[in-house]
Structure 1
Amino acid sequence: MAITHCITHQIHPDESGAPVLRLRASELAVDEPLETLAADLKRAYLSRINREHGRFSDESLQCGLGHWLEQLAGERQDFVGFSEQLAQQLLQLLLEQGGELRGHLILFMEQQYEQQAVYLFVVNQRIANRINERQEVEPVLTLDFGASMMALKVDLTQWRDGEGGAYLSMSPSRSKGMAELLQQLVGFSAGVDKAAATRDFLERIETFSQKLHEEQVNDFRSQVVGYCVEQDLQDAPVAISGLSQALDGVDAAAFSSYLADHLPEGGGPLLLDRRSLQRYVKFAGRELDLAISFSSHQLNKRVHYQAETDTLSITGLPKMLRSQLLGHVEE
């Protein structure tokens, strides 16, 4: 990671509970603690399954984040001024909606080879405990990377080059009353229906798998899902050419040509839903004190489902489970 700019601003409630903004006047020095923090923030963001992808709304391009980024790119605004505009907009939204935030707006820009991106995080503070040098327990404030965190990535290279597609990706807060705040702050529009795209993609994968030898099918499915999940963990689309080259035991040219002919996108990059991908190779469910999971290729082999009676039958239990059951019966 090569961070070129970074700054933080603080928002906290005053005595009346209204949000107050405390601006930092200059950028942070890029050092090891800052790089560690940025890496931790990105890791927490990329681990989320609920990331949404889209573009700037027309309004944002005229007077919001999209417009301010254009000013920044055109050197009509510096990074500090850009961050202050965004912080003031966040404060205004909190005041209008009566939202409560006790934390920080963190902005940084990174350059990796030819790729440039801006990251935005709104992170709450939470109280944790530590044992100090006097061997006493005392409270400390830490950053909460959990459900309350809001995060945004703008792929500046893709946006600037006019490649189209979804150059914005974001993960809203799951805190009550804060779900739409990030979308309004960013001016998010034209979201991608990743679940629908994944259904189309997996239907084509399943049809292609029928052309393979039976002993190849499970490995083929696992390779496809593994590659696509890894791309999602990097917030990157799936390029059919890259996927084709990553598969062992499959004719890459035939596979690539088949998808190009049968997918609505014509073989272009795909943004896929990680949860749907994982369900393709594994069925799982949990309810109160019952949890069940098994590989999808076991369906109609060792595992059979009867829809009429809503019954699942398993032939050949795992040794550990069988041992526990036998022990319980003997008791």
Structure 2
Amino acid sequence: MTITHCITHQIHPDESGAPALRLRASELAVDEPLESLVAELKRAYLSRINREYGRFSAESLESGLAHGLAQLVDGQQGFVEFSEQLARQLLQRLQEQGGELRGHLILFLERQHEQQTLYLFIVGQRIANRINERQEVEPLLTLDFGASMMALKVDLELWRGDAGGAYLSLSPSRAKGMAELLQQLAGFCAGVDKAAATRDFLERIETFSRKLPEEQVSDFRNQVVGYCVGQDLQDAPVEINGLSQALDGVDSADFSSYLADHLPVGDGRLLLDRKSLQRYVKFAGRERDLAISFSSHQLNRRVHYQAETDTLSITGLPKMLRSQLLGHVEE
């Protein structure tokens, strides 16, 4: 992929503590440090499980991000002008909400063949310490890619092609009072219930698995989940044909036809919830002094649950755990 445009603007508190802007007048040069930063931003975004998918709301098409983006794509304004307009809208939202933010708005356009993607990040700053050339400890401001980061991605081909689907994805901030800032700035309209879609998908996977030999079921489930999680880690939908072709030991035509007949897939693309997928092949739970996890195919085999007494029984402990327990007993 190639970065075609990139710019940053700074958000900072003024002397009174109110949010203010420092606008950059020109685009950043695409060099190795910038490419490294972009790669780090995208990795942080793709690691998020809380990504939401949808479209621009009807109201936002006349103003806000959607309106400015349309002017940019149509050549009615340049990238710098578009970014400044968006930065001022962000400032206005912060002023209206009384929000506090010390950091940067980072925008870049990326092209791969005929596909263009806009990325928007709002990244705060945090203080780290370093030892300078005089061997003195001094504070250093760094970018915070943690819970406070906000990120948005627009697939321009899907959006402008009017092909439908969820062309807009975002990851909101988990900082107090900032959760809805990005949705409001983007004019985001949620269009995909990933949890419900994943629940329906896994029900169909489980039903199909009953057609397979018992010794093949666990591998089949793991293959399905592995492929789907891999797609999510690339922020890509699961395409039924691609999933069907990726499975070993399964008739791809039969599997593809089954899903098409039993799921409302429309264009054959599914956006699924990574956490729900992982729970399908692995049960896990943690409290302060207890952590338990095991593969789902061990339920009713080596692991048995009695709901009446809320008791979990395990037959055949892992060697390491058994040796620790025996050592404790002998003591």
**TM-score (structure 1 length as normaliser):** 0.99
**Residue 296 (str. 1) matches residue 296 (str. 2):** yes
**Residue 165 (str. 1) matches residue 165 (str. 2):** yes
**Residue 280 (str. 1) matches residue 280 (str. 2):** yes
The answer for the alignment partner of 1:126 in structure 2 is 126
Unaligned stretches of 5+ in structure 1?
A: none
Q: In the TM superposition, what are the counterparts of 1:127-276 in structure 2 within 5 Å?
A: 127-266=127-266, 268-276=268-276
The 3-state SS of whatever aligns with 1:85 is helix
Match of 1:72, as an amino acid?
L
Once the 2 structures are TM-superposed, how far is the Cα of residue 266 of structure 1 from its aligned partner? Answer: 5.0
The 3-state SS of whatever aligns with 1:260 is helix
Once the 2 structures are TM-superposed, how far is the Cα of residue 280 of structure 1 from its aligned partner? Answer: 0.3
Once the 2 structures are TM-superposed, how far is the Cα of residue 163 of structure 1 from its aligned partner? Answer: 1.2
The answer to whether the 8 Å contact 1:259/1:267 transfers is no
Find the aligned partners of 1:299 and 1:132 in 2 and give their Cα distance.
56
Once the 2 structures are TM-superposed, how far is the Cα of residue 317 of structure 1 from its aligned partner? Answer: 0.5
**Residue 94 (str. 1) matches residue 98 (str. 2):** no
The 3-state SS of whatever aligns with 1:163 is coil
The answer for the alignment partner of 2:64 in structure 1 is 64
Match of 2:37, as an amino acid?
L
The answer for the alignment partner of 1:7 in structure 2 is 7
The answer for the alignment partner of 2:305 in structure 1 is 305
The answer for the alignment partner of 1:316 in structure 2 is 316
Q: Percent identity?
A: 84
The answer for the alignment partner of 1:109 in structure 2 is 109
Alignment coverage as a number of residue pairs: 331
Deviations 1:62-114 (A, max 9, x none): 11111111100110010000001110000000000000000000000000112
Match of 1:44, as an amino acid?
A
Match of 1:31, as an amino acid?
D
Match of 1:206, as an amino acid?
E
Deviations 1:110-169 (A, max 9, x none): 001121100000000100112223333221110000000000000001111111000000
The 3-state SS of whatever aligns with 1:99 is coil
Unaligned stretches of 5+ in structure 2?
A: none
The answer to whether the 8 Å contact 2:106/2:120 transfers is yes
Q: In the TM superposition, what are the counterparts of 1:25-36 in structure 2 within 5 Å?
A: 25-36=25-36
Find the aligned partners of 1:12 and 1:191 in 2 and give their Cα distance.
33
**TM-score (structure 2 length as normaliser):** 0.99
Find the aligned partners of 1:26 and 1:223 in 2 and give their Cα distance.
47
User: What is the root-mean-square deviation in Å for CA atoms of aligned residues?
Assistant: 0.9
Deviations 1:241-267 (A, max 9, x none): 000000111100000000000112257
The 3-state SS of whatever aligns with 1:236 is coil
